[in-house]
Every structure is written in structure tokens, then in C-alpha cells.
Amino acid sequence: MEKIYFGGSFNPVCNHHINIALLAARTFAKHIAFMPAYDAPHKNTLISFEHRLNMLKLAIDEYSNLSISLAEKEIHDKNKGEPSYSYNTFRHLAGINSNLTGVYSVSVLLGSDSVDDLLDKKWYMSDEILARIYNRTFKLYVPIRKGEKSKFLQDEKLCQLVKVFNQDVGFDGSSSEFREKYKNKEDVKDIINAKVLDYVVKNSLY
């Protein structure tokens, strides 16, 4: 079964991450591989890769159509600690897929805000990534909310290539919201998996 790679910092992984992955798996009959960033060039609140990986394992444990890819760590180790850029990761994954299927391509799940940032050239090698989307080397799957007015939805050429799917209930609560509420000792049980929350508490994270 073809994989869709779901990249992110997952700092920590929240219920809405799992719900989006499960919805994408059902909608497209694909296997979803969470791909935690080893580091993130634009984020300075990232806890260790090992902790984020352990929390992901706890969160997806009961789902056979979800898994974890260590591609970001493999690239980090290979490049001896260079920053983790999506362009390099996508190329790496496309090469792996080529070895398995003979087709040089990769399917990636991205948030609509990330696609807008890509159009605004806020990503490393934005033009090259867009070129590879247009020639179907990089295939995007993007969840959107009802009534959403993301910039990329106005790009007719891009919309013909991106596979959009609608979010339904259960997609509230981001990682940053969790960190803020947890810091302020507010209730976070609706945002994060109970096993993940237990891990956070036992390891004195955030």
C-alpha cells in the first residue's frame, strides 16, 4: 500500500494529528507514516527527538494503518547535523519510493497553512518544491476546514494537483495550545492522548 508521509514537529503529538491521519487513511485508502522532524530550523521550543518519537509510538499504538518514518533522523545522521529542510526530505523519500516501485515520487500530507507558506516562498527551495509538485514528483494531500480561504485554494493550477479532503469533528487543539495550557495548569485532556499525557508528566516535559 502506498504511504502518505505526515511530517511535523509533533511537539507533542495531539489528538488532532491522529484524527487527520486517520481521516486521510480512510479517504484515500492509504497508509499514513508520521515523520517527526529531527530538528526544525524555525522552531526553538522543540524537545528532544527521542521524547517526541516515544510519544508518537504511544499515540499510534492501536492503529494498524499508521506508522512512523525515521527519515528525518536518517537524513540528519547522513548529513552530519545539517538543518532539516523539507526539500531534502522529500527528495530522499522519492528516492526510496523509486527503489521500491520504480517511480520517483513521494506523497506528503501538509496543512493548508504550510502550502500557503510554500506559495509565499517562505520555505527553503520553495521554487524547486513547487516545480516538483507541478510535474507530479511531489504529491500533496491537504486537509481543509469548511469555509477555509487558504491562499493555495485560489491557485487554479495547484488546486488541480493537490488532493484536498475535508476535516470533520475532532480537530481542535494544537501542540502550541497544549503547551500553553499545560504550562498554566489548565485542563488538556481533550487535546492529547491519555498515554501521551502520562508520558509528559512522568518525564517532566514542557
pLDDT digits (tens, 9 = 90+) for 133-144: 999 999 999 998
Tens of pLDDT, residue by residue, the chain (206 residues): 679 999 999 999 999 999 999 999 999 999 999 999 987 666 667 899 999 999 999 999 999 999 999 999 988 888 876 777 889 899 989 887 776 676 678 999 998 888 999 999 999 999 999 999 999 999 999 998 877 888 888 888 888 899 999 876 556 788 999 999 999 999 999 999 999 999 999 999 99
How many CB atoms sit inside 10 A of residue 198's CB? 12
CA distance 29 to 187: 35
pLDDT value at residue 170 = 59
Would you kindly state where each structural domain of the chain is located, as residue ranges? 3-169
Chain position carrying cell 511537539: 11
CA distance 86 to 108: 10
Contact call for residues 30 and 24 (beta carbons, < 8 A): yes
CA distance 134 to 37: 25
Question: Which superfamily does CATH assign the domain made up of 3-169 to?
Answer: HUPs (3.40.50.620)
Query: Containing H/E element for 35?
Result: strand 31-36
Contact call for residues 190 and 15 (beta carbons, < 8 A): yes
- Interstrand relation of 31-36 and 3-8 (parallel, antiparallel or unpaired): parallel
How many CA within 13 A on the CB side of residue 111?
11
Residues forming beta bridges with residue 175, ordered by sequence position: none
The two counts, helices (H) then strands (E), for the chain are 9, 6
